[in-house]
Amino acid sequence: MLATTLFTTLALLASASAAPQWGPYRDWSKNGNNDNQGNSYSANGDKASQDYGYEVAGMGGSSNDSAWSGGAIVAPPTGFTLPLPPNQSNLTMPAGQSVTIATVSRGVQNYTCTSGAWVSDGALANLYDAGLLLALTENVAPAEKVTDGLAPLFLAAQSFPSNNPAPTLQHEFVATPNKPGSISPRFFNPNTGDTVTLAKVGTIPSPDNSTADVTWLQLQAIEGNLAKSVFRLQTAGGQPSGGSCAEGTQASVDYAAMYYFLS
């Protein structure tokens, strides 16, 4: 555990020192809610319009500007496998695909109270490359042990929104292609402009704590070239509080997770 924490810290420091220094987030969407840092992000509204541009102090522009890159992606070590739970068939490794990007995310899960219950309303997250950490710890600890500790660490230690370290990828929800009124998860690389929009093909409750942690997911690409599949695993946080809620109330719940991209 000590070695894992040490290498995690070193990797984060390396990412931060290599990243450009951004100014503060001014606007995550044009129709957002302020957090306690004066930042703004959407609980619904603009997320379906594909308008997730944000301005950076003194720079302006959109989140696809390559000047705000989080740096090159380090591929996971050869032979890296997904940490899928045993004795289940809802999440399965797609034939002919392999993990090309491993990331840890920090963001919010958004909800709207509908008919007295919280209903998922998309998410926003920054994703940070974990490939360097996996390479550094390859001969120190099993990969699954390393990645198991990352999401809880980021949930506790990494703020959102945040610009330090600079994210490698970003996550949002956008209008589903050819399905008016629906939204789908989308990931994009702000350095290359590569994107992928996906559909859910499998889900299981979090094996660790299904009350507090959002579900584990398998997603399949429907548009874009960033990946063919994406898995959300090893989640921490993100579930809304239990009990009744007032109709139309919106909530954003902090979460972290490991996202794995396959091609």
When mean pLDDT is compared across 56-65, 192-201, 238-247, the lowest value belongs to: 56-65
Write the pLDDT tens digit of every residue in 225-247: 999 999 999 999 999 988 889 99
Three-class SS state of 252: strand
pLDDT attached to residue 217? 99
pLDDT of 11 above 60: no
Single pTM value for the model: 0.77
The whole-number pLDDT of residue 138 equals 86
Three-state SS string across 70-136, please? CCCCCCCCCCCCCCCCCCCCCCCCCCCCCEEEEEEEEEEEEEEEECCEEEEEEEEEEEEECHHHHHH
What confidence score (pLDDT) does residue 157 get? Answer: 92
